[in-house]
Amino acid sequence: MRRFFLCLLAAVIAAGWLRVLPESLWLDECGTVFVVSGTWAELLSRQQIFVGSLPHLTVSWLLLQLFGFSEVLLRLPSLIAMSVAAALLFLYSRRHLGTDTAYLVVALFAVHGNMQAHGTETRPYAFSVLFAAAALYFLDRWMWRGGIGYAVALGLAAGLLPANHLLAVTVLPILLLTAAAYRRRHPLSHYAALALSFALPALLVIPTLNAFDDQGSVQLRNWLARPTLNTWLALYTHRAIFLPSLAAAAVAFVFTRPWQWGRPQVPLPLLVNATGLGVVLPLIMFVLSRTGPVSIFTSRYMIAADIGIILLYALAVHGLHPPRARLAVACSLLVLILGYTIVGGGIRRPFRSEDWRAALHSLRGRAPTIAMQTGFVEGRDERWLRDPLKSRFLSAPAVVYPPGVSVTPLPYGLPATDGPYLAEFLEGARGRPVGLIVFPGEKLKARFVQAGFNLELVGNFGPLSTWIATAN
C-alpha cells in the first residue's frame, strides 16, 4: 500500500502543484520581480522601501541574474522549500508516531491549500514553512542525539524565521516551550553555538525594521479586516482537509475493518509543538488583531500554524489500530482530492487567478498609453502614485510583462483616494485612446464615464478586465 500511496502523492503533486507553475504571476509576485529586477544595490535599496524577505529576494535575484525571467524558474525555490519541509516533517513524525502516521502527515501537507498555494508562487511564505519545519526537526535531533552540529543547524533555522518574515518571530516561543518539554540539558558550548548561529541570520531582520521607521507609512495602516470567531475556526476546517479527511476515514473504514481506536500515545514534546503551533499561535494572532491597532490575522502571516494543525489532524488518526488503517486514511484522502482535481479542474488556490500576462497582451497595439488600477494598498497614497520609483512598483505587472507603451498606475480603491491625481490624469488623457486595466473597480469605470469617456470592453482575465477608453 505504501507504493500505492507514493503513486497517489506524485499524481496529486502533478495535478495540484506542478500544473500552476507556468501560469501568469499574480500581483504580489510581480512586486517581487520588480524588487529583484536590478542590481544587488538596487535590491537592497528597494527592500528598504517595499519591505520584502531578504533571504527569498536574494535567491530570486540570483536566479534572475543567472537564467533570466521565467515563471517556472522563479517559483521553483518555493516548490523546493515546501518539498524539503514535507520531507523533514515526515522524518520528524516517523520518529514519534511511526511510518504510517507520517505518511498521513505528508498527505495532509500535499492537499492543504495554503501549502499548495505558497509552494507554487515566488513569495517568501514557503521559506517560512521550511525554516519552521527545519527548526522542529533539528531541535528534536539535538535533544535526542546531542551534538553541537544539530545545535548550530537549529540556531540557523530559528534565526532565519524572523529574517524571512518578521511575524514568524511568533514561532520562537513555541520552539522554547517544545525544547523545555524534552527536559534535557546540554553542554554550555552547545548553547553558545546555538545563540551565535541564531544571531547571525537574525541580524537580517534589521533592514525590515528600518523600513517601518516612518510611522505615517501607508504600510502600517490596518488593511486587513478584524478577525471574527468564524475566521479563526476556519483555520481548522480548511475545505481541502476537513471534509475530505472525514470522508477518507469513512472510506478507509470500509476496506480496513475491524478498526480499534485507543487513546494515542504521543510524546510530550510533539504534543506541545502541535498544540503550540496549531492552537496557541493562532489564538495569539487573533487576540492581537482584535485588540491591537493593526490586524495581522491572515493565513500567510501565520502559515507555520498550518504545520501544527496538520499534526493535530494526524494525532486524531494516530489512535487507530491496526497501523495500516492510518495509511488507508492517507491513501483515501489522496484519492478523493485527486478525483476532485480531475472533475473540478484542479485544486483551487486561495488567491485570485489574475492573468496579468494575458491582460497586458490584450492591449498591445490598441492604445498609445495604458492606465492600470493598482492592486497594491499603497496605491491609496498619492505620494506613491506620483513618485517615479514607487509608481513603477504600483504598476509592477507592466514591468514583468512589458506592453510596449507607457503605463500609468491609478489609485487603489475609490472614492477614498479620489483626489486630484485621478482628475489630473483624466484631463490629460483627452484626445487619445487609453488602454485601461481595472482590478476590479466599478467606481473607477464610473469616474471615466462621468469624465466623458466611452469604455469598450476588450476582455476579462480572472478578476481583471481590460478596456479601451476614448473621450467624447
Q: pLDDT, tens digit, for every residue of 201-245?
A: 998 888 777 666 554 554 555 566 788 888 888 888 876 677 777
Task: Tell me the CB-side half-sphere exposure of residue 393, using CA atoms within 13 A.
Answer: 25
The per-residue pLDDT for 350 is 46
**pLDDT for 251-260, tens place per residue?**
777 766 656 7
Which of the two residues, 228 and 249, has the higher pLDDT score?
A: 228
pLDDT at 298: 86
Q: Regarding beta strands 320-321 and 369-373, do their DSSP bridges make them parallel or antiparallel, or are they unpaired?
A: unpaired
pLDDT at 381: 84
Count of other CB atoms within 10 angstroms of residue 264: 16
How does residue 278 score in pLDDT terms, banded at 50, 70 and 90? very high
Note the pLDDT tens digit of each residue in 324-342. 888 888 888 888 888 877 7
**Number of Cα atoms under 13 Å in the Cβ half of residue 358:** 14
Beta carbons of 262 and 88 less than 8 angstroms apart:
no
Q: What pTM value is reported for the model?
A: 0.92
Q: State pLDDT tens for residues 13-34.
A: 988 899 889 999 999 999 999 9
Name the average pLDDT for the chain: 88
For residues 71 and 60, give the distance between their C-alpha atoms in angstroms, rounded to a whole number: 11
Q: Label residue 237 exposed, middle or buried (CB < 10 Å: 0-12, 13-18, 19+).
A: exposed
Task: Of 254-263, 338-347, 402-411, give the range with the top mean pLDDT.
Answer: 402-411
Where residue 88 falls among pLDDT bands split at 50, 70, 90? very high
Residues 448-455, mean pLDDT to the nearest whole number: 91
